[in-house]
Each structure stands twice: as structure tokens, then as C-alpha cells.
Amino acid sequence: MSNGDLHQAVEVIKGAIQRCQARALLNVNNEVLSLYYGIGHYISENSRQHFWGTGALNAISEQLQKEMPGLKGFGETSLKNMRTFYEEWCEFINRQPMADDLLIDETSLVTQIRQPLGDEFSWTDFLRVPFTHHVIILRKIKDLKERAFYIHMCATRAWNKYALQDFIRQDLYGNRGMLPSNFTETIPDTRLAIRTLKAFKENYLLNFINAEDIYENEEERNEPVLTKEIVNNIRDFILRFGQDFMFIRPQYRLVVGDEEKFVDLLFFNRQLNCLVAVEMKDCRFQPAHLGQLAFYLTLLDEQVRKPHENPSIGLVLCREMDRTVVEIAIQDYNKPMGVATFRLGEDAPEEYNRILPDLSGINALMQEDKDNLESDNE
């Protein structure tokens, strides 16, 4: 790289930095990402075609430091990260070619050719995520959908870079599709947060309960009747609920002031080392359900939880829900909570009923195996 080329490259990059700094107060992260994308484009076009030669980025970085004392974030590694940032996203971002290809186009990134993943991808999320987080995601994640997932989580959950690294390491994406919850925000230990996600399902098939047997008509549906039926079949419920759950009691009484409050179903989970409060809602999810559950969790932590136990966790178990409504409603709570749905026997899809035998069928199969074993031993 000649001295003339070096000087020109430094001047171009320095000018772009200065123009960006002048607009930074208006929209800091958008401007920074736009600047880095533009610099990445410029570096990619020149370095990948061997216009500059070996050592060019290091020389540019050192000269920038001399001409802009105190400048941070423009070391050789950072310049390479900008190049990667451009090369990984240029397919999806519409940029008009400049008349002079030595200039850097650091204008906003808000104009895009197309959505990388259709409606699943949010450019609003993209522009809210700091560049350091983008670099971590690009380095560790190759799948586009997985990248979009972590970008969304960073944008909506305000993770720092250490939380992002931990959740990638624990493969939060691989455990996605679980029930909507705020576990990753309210449980500081990322490993425990992942275990908590794994402990619950998004939908529970309670096919040991048939609505025709417990309700004479639709209007009679209510939580006490449903809770009683679950308690009467608590062994079957726990088999569907998951491992390590121990049932404490139904209608667990809590006293606050002059009032009594009752948790529908209270469990303890050995793996998570915490109380689990389940509120049954024989209806469509409503945001108010979370307020009630959060109140119960506060009382459980203050009155029931042991010093060595983790904070209590809550689950709203309802007939149906709009996942988007749940995700919006739950983000303002600092108590770990999730929302899942349930289906009774008559709600099960026909293919489920064909595949899964009822309890009497299971008992018959077990007895048949026992008889065959005894016969073979004779």
C-alpha cells in the first residue's frame, strides 16, 4: 500500500467518522451501525480485491489513531469486524453505488431490499442492537434464523454482551418454542433460566379429564371444578407436567392483611429448587392474570420460601392465548412467570387420540406384558 493510498484511505474513513459523530446524538446506534456498515463496505471492496495488500488494515488503524487521538473502536480487529458486518448483511440491505467508489456511504440502514426472513425479521430490532452484540452473533451463529432470534432477544430483553454469550453457550435458540415467559430476564443465572424453560411445555394435554364428564354446559366452566378434577388425578397430571415436580397442595392459603389468598396448585421442583405456583384459568389468557400471579409469588417468597431456595416461579395455565399479547404483557414483571395452555380429553386432535391410548389402555398393555413375561418363565 503506497503512502498516497494510505493517506487517501485514512482521509476517507476519518471524514466518514466525523460526519457520523455530528449526527450521533440524533440516533446513536442507528448511526453507528450505519457508519460501520459503510466502512465495512469500503474495506471489503478494496481489501478483498487485493487493492491494498497485506497489512493495510493495521496501517490504517495506526494512522487513524495518530490523526484522531483518543479514537476507540477502530483497531485492526474492529475494522475486520466491520468488514464482516457488511459482508454478512449486504445481501439484504439496499445501497445505491456511489459515483466515487472511494467514498463511504454511511447513510442510514433503514432502507432494505427485502426481509431476510419475511415477517420473522425486524429491522427495528436490528438497529437497536449494539455493534458488539452483532459481532458476537456473527461469530458464533451461522444460521440466519438463529441470528434473527438472538437479535430479537437482545433488542427486546436488553441483554449485555455477557448475557448474550451465556445464552448462546447454553443454546437458548435450541430450546426456543417453549412457553412464552420472562425467565431469561428475571433469572440471573443463565443455566438456571435454560433449565426453567426446559421444565415447562407450551401446551399440556390433560386427556385424563373429559369436559363432558365435568361440565353439563359451557357456562359451567370454572377454575374450581377444573382444579378439583386435576387434584383427583394428580398422579396423571404430574406425569404430564414434567419431571421433578412434587405436589404440595391445592388452594394453598396465603394471608395478607385481613385477606386470604389461595394459590390454585402449589408444587415444588427439585431440579429448580423452588416453589412453583400454578393458576388455572378456564378461559382465554388476559393480562390481569399475570398481576394476580405476581402478587402470589411475592407472598410465597416472603412467607413460604426457605432461605436456601430459589425465588418462586409462576405459571398461568389457560385454555388459549395470543402469544404476542402474552409477550407484551409479561415483559414489565420482575417475577419469573410463564403462560401455557391446556387441552382436555375432548379437545385432543384425532391423531393424538389414535396414537395415545387412554389410561385403561395403558394398564391393559402393562398387564399383557406381565402375563407374557410370566408365561415365558414357566
Q: What is the mean pLDDT of each run of 10 residues along the chain (378 residues)?
A: 76 76 63 86 82 84 88 90 91 58 52 55 83 95 91 85 89 79 89 89 85 59 80 89 91 93 95 96 94 96 96 95 92 93 69 45 52 54
Residue 210 sits in the same domain as residue 255 = yes
Whether 186 maps to a domain, the answer reads no
Same domain, 45 and 174: yes
Do 226 and 326 sit in the same domain of this protein? yes
Residue 368 resides in a domain: no
Please state the pTM of the whole predicted model: 0.62
Residue 187 in domain? no
Same-domain status, 203 and 158: no
In this structure, the answer to whether residues 16 and 107 fall within a common structural domain is yes
Do 135 and 210 lie in one domain? The reply is no
Neighbours of 257 (CB within 10 A): 5
- Any domain includes 42: yes
One domain for residues 19 and 164: yes
Find, among 123, 46, 128, the residue nearest to 89 by Cα: 123
Same domain, 204 and 273: yes
Q: Are both 203 and 172 inside the same structural domain?
A: no
Q: Is residue 366 part of a domain?
A: no
Among 178, 205, 232, the domain-final residue is: 178
Structural domain count of the chain: 2
- pLDDT number for residue 138: 96
d(CA 296, CA 53): 65
In this structure, the answer to whether residues 164 and 208 fall within a common structural domain is no
354: in domain:
no
Q: For residue 41, give the nearest of 92, 83, 95 by alpha carbon.
A: 83
Grid cell locating 207 = 386427556
Domain of residue 256, CATH code: 3.40.1350.10
Output the nine-digit C-alpha cell for 330: 409479561
Domain of 231, in residue numbers: 197-347
Same domain, 48 and 137: yes
**Cβ 326 vs Cβ 285: under 8 Å:** yes
